[in-house]
Amino acid sequence: PYGIYGTREDAQLEFSKQLHIIAGLITEDDGPYLCGSEVSLADATLFPTVVFAVRMYPKFDFGIEDAIPAEIRTWFDAVIEQDEVFRKVYNEIMAGIQKWEDNGRWDPIWRAGQRDEEPGTLFDKIVAGEIPANVVHEDDKVLAFRDINPAAPAHVLVIPKDRDGLTRLRKATLEHVELLGRLLLTAGQISNDESLGFGDGSRVVINDGKDAGQEVFHLHLHVLGGRDFTWPPG
């Protein structure tokens, strides 16, 4: 949903990286503009984006250090102060952003208007290594381990290492598309592992909420196998 980037955080990290590249190209010539004393297409192209970025980055809790480099901020502040046209553009964009904010447009956006304020769970302690677990898979995003109360000969739990607001499936947003795909991919890989007790097939279950029997409010997939299953489930 964010171009080639799976999450808004990845997109913002890349945007900040590009700003730092631009900052390294800024000349030290006299004048407030990117290329010295003369305004250029580079100024006109970058300026509207930075207006929004200056307002946007503080809204999120991604913890991007020095998201907008000092050289860009110096240029940005200077052209607003010294160039009437840029100042007019700034005021027009800010008026639009303010109207956008007044209409609550940030409110539904994950990690801007919405935050994960639910308490931690035992899964956080497993990820941190504070509680031991029989881990069968781990990568940068996903952890999988055997269920201590198995409901089948093969029973593995697959969880996101960073819950990122996914206390339950219905909390998923477009921000979580990549992560949800990783969870399902991992579940499929695990169900192919005969050494874990899986045969020809598995059942993948997500209990969403108390009515569905969810006990730990950190999204997790149950991957069950090694026996026949009936339908409908209980």
Please state, in angstroms and as integers, the Cα–Cα distance from residue 232 to each residue in 25, 91, 229, following that order.
63, 60, 9
> Among positive and negative, which fits the CA dihedral 66, 35, 79, 93?
negative
Q: For this structure, is 220 an active site residue?
A: yes
* From 176, 218, 220, 222, the catalytic residue: 220
Upstream peptide bond of 232 is cis (omega within 30 degrees of 0): yes
User: Cα separation of 189 and 205, whole Å?
Assistant: 15
Instruction: Please state whether beta strands 135-138 and 142-146 pair in parallel, antiparallel, or not at all (unpaired).
Output: antiparallel
Q: Which residues pair with 154 in a beta bridge?
A: 225
Active centre residues (catalytic): 220
